[in-house]
Amino acid sequence: MRAAQRSRQQTLALRRQLIGSSCKLFFPNDPVKIVKAQGQYMYDENGRQYLDCINNVAHVGHCHPDVVKAAHEQNQLLNTNSRYLHDNLVDYAERLSKTLPEELCIFYFLNSGSEANDLALRLARQYTKHEDVIVLDHAYHGHLTSLIDISPYKFRNLEGQKEWVHVVCTSACNYQLLVNLMKSLFNVLNTGYCSFAAPVPDTYRGLYREDHEDSVTAYANEVKNIIEQAHKRGRKIAAFFVESLPSVGGQIIPPAGYFQKVAEHVHKAGGVFIADEIQVGFGRVGKHFWAFQLQGEDFIPDIVTMGKPIGNGHPIACVATTKDIAEAFAATGVEYFNTFGGNPVSCAIGLAVLDVIEKEHLQAHATEVGNFLMKLLKEQKIKHPIIGDVRGSGLFIGVDLVKDQAERTPATAEAEYLITRLKEEYILLSTDGPGRNVLKFKPPMCFSMEDAKFVVDKMDQLLTDMEKEYLNQ
């Protein structure tokens, strides 16, 4: 039977038969079958249109004609590995270099964000000759074994924390602190080492909140404490590995200046600062091309990793670093070769994405539409007590739902109910955060003012209905 003729239930049955059960679906109780997409819209097998609020991979819009054309034209000419000279590779590296600080001038091309982060880890360890890595709690950096090991979002459901990983962990509530302490005790009893816990830079739900006199220094000092404790155990820090805007952790916006202070502590310890831009790069934050630039002009990471939006859905990724780090990596004498990283088709697509961002002024568009969406959501915050916080930059926005405004208890079940109901209204939204209570907006960059109003109006209706149901109980 041809795929186009299958019903949704037939496709679902085949998926359950053939695909690993750990590969999850959105809306598992009633999954959507998508057969095509354009711009910020996706269409199911019955032609019904869904507004896509979460697909940051389709950065400049699903099936953008310029990107499709670039792929098609290059596919007709040549696609081969990067051991041959080809202009697309160097043209693309040159274009990317113009978006970054001049210190970040050496590039490695790969096929996925996970590959990029794995290489960044190798670069850091070779350059510093150290092993240990500091990460934030609930961080996710990829699905390779090396990255599961530095992703608390994943490893806490598996075999636990490696000795060389130090977690700067979220203090979402007293319960979470207790969980972290219990995990640390478990590690001491079973492996002889302790996981150090300190708060993620979350000024809404974290240990140092919006009323703290200097949350930047307080959060950075927690990283300093981790380094000091690691040194007492004879450990040495290779890298502080962080998403420029923690996404899985709850759409967090670190306070400006935090990265600078953390980098001081990390560099003093002989480590490097790795900025993971896989979710948030390429103008999504509006004000800047890269999310790490929200920290200020004086902050420059040692390594930047890119993926997802870089190819608008095509598998391409990149690592940018300094000459010193690249030369230390080359000094091993071991060749780095990625068969199809930086192939002519991938680089043609990457160039087309950059062209579209520039031609359609998508960075400015993200600022304008993002500010409008934030304004509408903050108006809803005043109206609906379940909305505890609205935070974001450009088209990276989180809406933190709470059961209680004072305690800020995550409204997990309510968030799940809301995204399910929005799906019934043909709006695709999702949740993130340790409590799965943060609505995440990361739509294609062509997301419009009209789309923003449409979503918020539907949210208003659904939240009003939820409140009426609660009062009637």
Q: Can you give the CATH number for the domain in which 436 is found?
A: 3.90.1150.10
- Residue spans of alpha helices (H) in 289-361: 323-330, 344-359
List the Cα angle 417/421/424 in 5-degree steps. Answer: 150
Domain count of the fold of the chain: 2
The answer to whether residues 204 and 345 belong to one domain is yes
d(CA 296, CA 306): 20
Strand 303-306 and strand 272-276: pairing? parallel
- What tens-digit pLDDT sequence spans the chain (473 residues)? 455 589 999 999 999 999 999 899 999 999 999 999 999 999 999 999 999 999 999 999 999 999 999 999 999 999 999 999 999 999 999 999 999 999 999 999 999 988 999 999 999 999 999 999 999 887 777 777 777 777 665 555 555 666 656 666 644 434 344 334 434 433 333 332 233 334 689 999 998 999 999 999 999 999 999 999 999 999 999 999 999 999 988 999 999 999 999 999 999 999 999 999 999 999 999 999 999 999 999 999 999 999 999 999 999 999 999 999 999 999 988 889 899 999 999 999 999 999 999 999 999 999 999 999 999 999 999 999 999 999 999 999 999 999 999 999 999 999 999 999 999 999 999 999 999 999 999 999 999 999 999 999 999 999 999 988 876 66
The answer to whether residues 365 and 348 belong to one domain is no
Is residue 368, in this structure, part of any structural domain at all?
Answer: yes
Is residue 93, in this structure, part of any structural domain at all?
Answer: yes
Tokens of 56: 């940051």
Tokens of 44: 């199911």
d(CA 66, CA 79): 19
The answer to whether residues 230 and 366 belong to one domain is no
The answer to whether residues 421 and 448 belong to one domain is yes
Give the CATH number of the domain where residue 337 resides.
3.40.640.10
Containing structural domain, residue 75 = 67-359
The answer to whether residues 36 and 119 belong to one domain is no
The answer to whether residues 304 and 167 belong to one domain is yes
Is residue 97, in this structure, part of any structural domain at all?
Answer: yes
The answer to whether residues 116 and 222 belong to one domain is yes
Cα dist from 152 to 80, 160, 191, 277, 443, whole Å: 37, 8, 17, 18, 26
Helices 65-75 and 344-359 pack at an angle, to 10 degrees, of: 160
Secondary structure of residue 277 in the 3-state scheme? coil
Spatial CB neighbours of 216, under 8 Å, sequence gap ≥ 6: 201, 255, 256, 257, 258, 261
Is residue 180, in this structure, part of any structural domain at all?
Answer: yes
Residue 249 near residue 137, CB atoms below 8 Å? yes
Secondary structure of residue 49 in the 3-state scheme? strand
The answer to whether residues 214 and 305 belong to one domain is yes
- Give the end of a domain, one of 342, 359, 376: 359
- Give the end of a domain, one of 359, 386, 410: 359
The answer to whether residues 279 and 337 belong to one domain is yes
Residue 262 near residue 223, CB atoms below 8 Å? yes
Q: What is the pLDDT of residue 144?
A: 72
pTM: 0.90
Is residue 27, in this structure, part of any structural domain at all?
Answer: no
The answer to whether residues 261 and 295 belong to one domain is yes
- Give the end of a domain, one of 359, 387, 410: 359
The answer to whether residues 330 and 376 belong to one domain is no
178, burial (CB in 10 Å: exposed 0-12, middle 13-18, buried 19+): exposed
The residue behind tokens 């480590």 is 271
Spatial CB neighbours of 140, under 8 Å, sequence gap ≥ 6: 151, 153, 154, 247, 248
d(CA 346, CA 81): 11
Is residue 2, in this structure, part of any structural domain at all?
Answer: no
Is residue 4, in this structure, part of any structural domain at all?
Answer: no
Is residue 427, in this structure, part of any structural domain at all?
Answer: yes
> If residue 184 lies in a helix (H) or strand (E), which one and from where to where?
helix 174-191
Spatial CB neighbours of 293, under 8 Å, sequence gap ≥ 6: 285, 287, 299
- Residue spans of alpha helices (H) in 384-448: 412-424
The answer to whether residues 306 and 441 belong to one domain is no
Helices 449-472 and 412-424 pack at an angle, to 10 degrees, of: 120
